[in-house]
Amino acid sequence: MKETLKDGFFIGSSGALLLLVLLRPSTIPSLPASVHWETIFTLAGLLIITTAMEESGFFLNVSIKLIRRFRNEKSLALFLILLSAFLSPFLTNDITLFVVVPMTLGIGSQIENDAVKFVIFEAMAVNAGSFLTPIGNPQNIYLWHRWNIPFLKFVAKMAPAWATTLFLILIFAFIAFPSKAIIVKEEFSGSKINKAMLNLSALAMVLFLIAVEKDLTYYAAVAVILLFAVIFPEVLARTNWLLIVLFVVLFMDVHLLLEIFPVKQLLEAHFLKGTGGAYFSAIGLSQLISNVPAAILLGKISNSWKAIAYGVNIGGNGLVIASLANVLALNIGRAKRAWIKFQLYSLPFLLVSSAAVYSLLKL
């Protein structure tokens, strides 16, 4: 899982941090306190557990068995989109891509049909699907802890917008994919499921979420690390620790931006007026700096958590850089030339979905 280095987000964020520190060296002592460590520990625990689920082979095997039932490109695309959308609220958007995109590439190597469009819509689907729960993506994890929102309340508030975006992406896919037959080159198969790893990760997920709800995040994360270090150390080796470091850097970047530049005053004066202002600011900032730092930034200067959550999640489906999931999917899919093609679908989807979801803000 080294795609974070390849996509340039880590290098760019680290370079920005270095530049900001050079501009204001006196802020260095305040940097550790600027990190929302509860979010970082929650993300670490979830990444370890969901990596174990991925490594168990369960989802790949189930998916391959189901895919054999499809005979045309449209039905296969709709299945892959729904699979991505329904796994992402629980596995997180990034981990879902590590499950679905390699599987899609494997399918692509065995069929004559173009798999790149599948990958593009899978990226859009995990952005839409991960919207639903506080553990679906890093920005939701941060907002969940920032306002200490009960898990089920968060889901209830996100559900209308989640259902709307999912419905819209299915319409887009129905139009974009033809009903032509899938031409299979040769039969493909899955691998053996590690049932012990699957069962342990499923139990760990339930207990971890209960612990987080009870404000025992730090203890639970350490327990997860020790558990897998003893029983399945290979899971820790496969966990994307660089992603954790990236989010620590992003917290520091946002802190320094607020310290050095009049970002807060500018946003409050011109953009953050009412829930609509917070919503569209979140969408716009996501296109400029990606939706995770946009959530961190707005979370520090606005109390409209629902508008921010809607905005940063909707905003992920816009420019490629609006969400780490977009860049990650295209990098895993070895589809760098598809960036323009991605935006031909995602930008119209952003316009339609942002207008549709705006009407749900007052529910």
Q: Looking at the predicted structure, is the pLDDT value of residue 277 above 80? A: yes
pLDDT at residue 322 tops 60: yes
Helix (H) / strand (E) containing 84: helix 73-91
Give mean pLDDT, residues 344-349. 94
Q: What is the rounded average pLDDT for all residues in the chain?
A: 85
Would you say residue 190 has pLDDT above 60? no
At residue 237, the pLDDT reads 93
Q: In this predicted structure, what is the pLDDT of residue 215?
A: 85
pLDDT score, position 5: 40
Task: Catalogue the long-range contacts made by 144-148 (C-beta closer than 8 Å, 24 or more residues apart).
Answer: 145/36, 145/38, 145/39, 145/42, 145/217, 146/36, 146/39, 146/299, 146/305, 147/305
- Among the ranges given (1-5, 27-31, 198-202), the one the predictor scored with the smallest mean pLDDT: 1-5
Give the per-residue SS3 of 263-275. Answer: HHHHHHHHCCCHH
Supply the pLDDT for residue 64.
Answer: 67
State what percent of residues in the chain have pLDDT above 70: 86
Tell me the per-residue pLDDT of 132-151, one tens digit each, with 9 for 90 and over. Answer: 999 999 999 999 999 999 99
Task: Give the model's pLDDT for residue 269.
Answer: 60
| Predicted model pTM | 0.79
* CA dist., res. 174 & res. 277, Å (int): 32
Summarised one tens digit per residue, pLDDT across range 296-313 is: 989 888 888 999 999 999
CA distance 317 to 346: 5
Where does the pLDDT of residue 188 fall: very low under 50, low under 70, confident under 90, or very high at 90 and above? low
Distances from the Cα of 330 to the Cα of 51, 178, 337, angstroms: 20, 22, 9
Domain extent listing, the chain: 3-260
**pLDDT mean over 244-264:** 82
Closest CA to 121 of 74, 189, 51: 74
Element (H, E) at 235: helix 233-238
Of how many residues is the chain composed? 363
Least-confidence region, from 62-66, 103-107, 212-216: 62-66
More confident residue, 47 or 232: 232
Please, which residues have CB within 8 angstroms of residue 57's CB and are 6 or more apart in sequence? 190, 191, 192, 193, 194
Q: What mean pLDDT comes out for the span 279-287?
A: 92
- The pLDDT of 85-112, averaged and rounded, is 80
Give 336-345 pLDDT, tens digit per residue: 567 788 889 9
What integer pLDDT is reported at residue 11 of this predicted model? Answer: 83
Residue 3 confidence (pLDDT): 46
Q: Mean pLDDT throughout 65-80?
A: 82
Q: Find out whether 333 and 116 touch, Cβ atoms under 8 Å.
A: yes
Rounded to an integer, what distance in angstroms lies between the CA atom of residue 99 and that of residue 49?
Answer: 14
Asked if residues 76 and 239 have their Cβ atoms less than 8 Å apart, the reply is no
Given this model, what pLDDT does residue 193 score? 87
The pLDDT, as a whole number, for residue 337 is 65
CA trace torsion 87, 216, 159, 354 (10° rounding): -90
pLDDT at 256: 86
Given this model, what pLDDT does residue 362 score? 72
Instruction: Tell me how far apart the alpha carbons of residues 26 and 13 are, in angstroms, rounded to a whole number.
Output: 20
Q: Average pLDDT in the 327-354 region?
A: 80
pLDDT surpasses 60 at 2: no
Name, in order, each residue with C-beta under 8 angstroms of 138's C-beta and a sequence gap of 6 or more.
39, 43, 92, 247, 292, 324
Per-residue pLDDT at 123 exceeds 80: yes
Which residues lie below 8 Å from residue 129, measured CB to CB, with a gap of 6+?
84, 85, 86, 87, 88, 89, 93, 96, 136, 162, 166
